[in-house]
Amino acid sequence: MSKPLSKMTLKELWRLFPIELVPHNPTWANWYSEEEKALSTLLCDIVIQIDHIGSTAVDGLPAKPIVDILLQISDVCNLSWLKETLIENGWLLMAEGSAYGEIDLNKGYTPEGFAERVYHLHVRRKGDWDELRFRDYLIAHPEAAAEYANLKQRLVGKYKYDRDAYTEAKTDFIRACVAKARE
């Protein structure tokens, strides 16, 4: 019998869910659309905006086969209710009280590894989020997207089993692109 995800160490989780980059898959846009519709139906009035973010949102960009979704909510949304509703509907809590004060959830992580479809849901209060600027910058600047793809390919070999280090190693590039997007 597999160990429950909640009982695994970070090292065990990274081994079970290594970083793997795959060529861009056009069906990721469909996965996003289906999940956006489901979230909109489930959460109705509290949804201010839902966006497909991350590398799977950029045509041609290799990515981890995980669809990232940014869900923006109002300042008056009851986060406890929202969290419980999402958990009751198949989402797993990844982090709470992040630097942005909101929650991150996932779907498609199992004790046996990744499911066929995997999602990360980033719940934030309505705002000016760098994730949207970065996505739009890569779409508008194919040379930056190609440079980002090369960076990710170099890093995945080094950090395949360390998501935090992989993410940190991309930070300077992402910040530089966001700064250019703000100009």
Per-residue pLDDT, 99: 58
Segments in the chain below pLDDT 70: 1, 10, 98-101
Per-chain mean pLDDT for the chain = 92
Nearest to 50 by CA among 33, 29, 28, 31: 33
**DSSP-derived pairing of the beta strands 113-125 and 67-73:** parallel
The candidate with the shortest Cα–Cα distance to 54, out of 99, 21, 13, is 21
Distance of CA 111 to the CA centre of its chain: 20
Helix (H) or strand (E) holding 72: strand 67-73
* Domain span holding position 154: 5-182
How far is Cα 121 from Cα 105, in angstroms, rounded to an integer?
A: 5
pTM higher than 0.85 for the full model?
yes
CATH number assigned to the domain comprising residue 68: 3.30.460.10
**Counted domains in the chain:** 1
Q: Count other Cβ atoms within 10 Å, centred on residue 68.
A: 24
